[in-house]
Structure 1
Amino acid sequence: MIKNSAVLPLLLVFTVGGCTKAADTPPAQAAAPAPAAAPAQGSPAPGAAPAAQPPAKPVPAQIPDVVAKVNGEDVKKTELDMAIKSLEDRARSPVPAEQRDAVYRQVLDRLIGFHLLVQEAKARKVVAPPWEVDSQVEQIKKQFPSEDAFNQMLQARGVTVERLRADTAQTIAVNVMLKAELEPKIVVTEADSKKFYEENRPRFRQEDSVHASHILIRTTEQADAAAKAKAKTQADDLLAQLKKGADFADLAKKHSQDPGSAPNGG
């Protein structure tokens, strides 16, 4: 299945949650709990759930062409539509009606944040190398079975190749800026490394392994004594060469009669 979430590189910064198919796996009906003593007046019930988050501000059914402005720059409805479509592709489900307001607001917040980052990258004159833009676009194309399938996807989303390249360049520039900004501030001490190792010791354990190689000198059950003696002499000669430091792989390629392993050095 094609991962459409990688179609527009700017959407790769999204980690919006909450858009799931709630009706797919209805929860099992729980048994009715035994009645409990009522809590004292003014005190919360034991194990009471935390207060629910206030509902998101309603999103109008008819979304305007410009959904936000970032330092005078328009954030257009088309961007929001494409971001929502990408999110739905990953969830393999449309945004549930009861979550529409919250999801749309989250996605819009991420879009606004991305516009701010792009503006900052431009202010710092951070430019994506053309070769890296080419490479990223090619990686996106490889997710599709053919050039036609790739172009059909762009057409379905109302995106041109030029727009795709522009979005890719913006994303690369933002990543370059963030890397330059954050990496110098990341300091890992020896104590940090030791603590991480101790806490994750099983992940660093490597099981013992053995790789067996061989040089086959073939004889048959029907071979006469002279043929068997010749094969033994050849094997002894190869062993003597190995003891003197000869390269095993070279000898295997030249002398082994095993067609499966000889070309690979035994």
Structure 2
Amino acid sequence: MLRVNGEAVDAGLIEEAFTRIKAEAEILSEISCCERDEEFRQRAEEEVIDGILLAQEAEKRVPEPPADEVRSAFEATLRQWREHGASWDLLDAERESLRAETISQLRMEAFTEGLWRDLPEAGEPELRRWHAENAARFRQPPAAKVLHLVRFPESVDPWEDYSAMLDLRRQALAGEDFAELAKAHTQKRGGDIELGWIEHERVFNPFEVMLFSLEEGEVGPVFHYEQALHLVKAVEVRPAVVQPFEEVRDVVREEVERGRKVGVLRELAAKLRATAQIER
């Protein structure tokens, strides 16, 4: 059992933080990160400890809010739970814990507002520097307008299906109209051959890896993906671009300000840890 200054930590909080941290890492890498579970769990535990230390400090520094403010916030909490399907019986059973959580949240809001009140406004040089250092955040992926021919292997000898697709590709490379070939030979339901504009969002997806290796107007190799043989042509290609600072200035400002606020909380949590009793 983990305790912070004598307060028992709900294991569910750590599990929720672990799930979120791992999911974020897997979205960025597009691969499962099971081998990093121990690292993610440690980060989750440290994050929860910091949150509890800050909540305890808020309780010390900020008096309980006025009754009318608590009542208004508590009623809003109940409405939110109801909107998410909670029954009145459940809300009645959890009434005291929800009210305590509401008071704690109001205290934390007042506490953080006080900590952030004197933060200086971010200047233009800092904003531009952050934009340059985080250019990947504002990268618009490359895109391609695609024609598509798909066939589903059905012969006893798979080579027959593959060689048939190779022959269609040779015809396209020899100058045959790819759109006409696709219309005549695709097995896609409805005969649709146009995929429209596709953005390269899944970096390691086999289909997109192949597609975005093509030059504009190029017909790709025959490849197998999701139980089918595919042949595509990149009719048009748009390269990746980074949104200029002027277009995302407001977003950058929000991110810089959020980073400053998080920095203040982390710095305070680190100081609180120096005198905290953390029992594992």
TM-score tier, shorter chain, comes to 0.3 to 0.5
Structure with more of its chain in helix, by fraction: 2
TM-score by length of 2: 0.34
Structure ranking higher on relative contact order (CA contacts 8 Å, 6+ apart): 2
Larger radius of gyration: 1
TM-score by length of 1: 0.35
Structure with more of its chain in strand, by fraction: 2
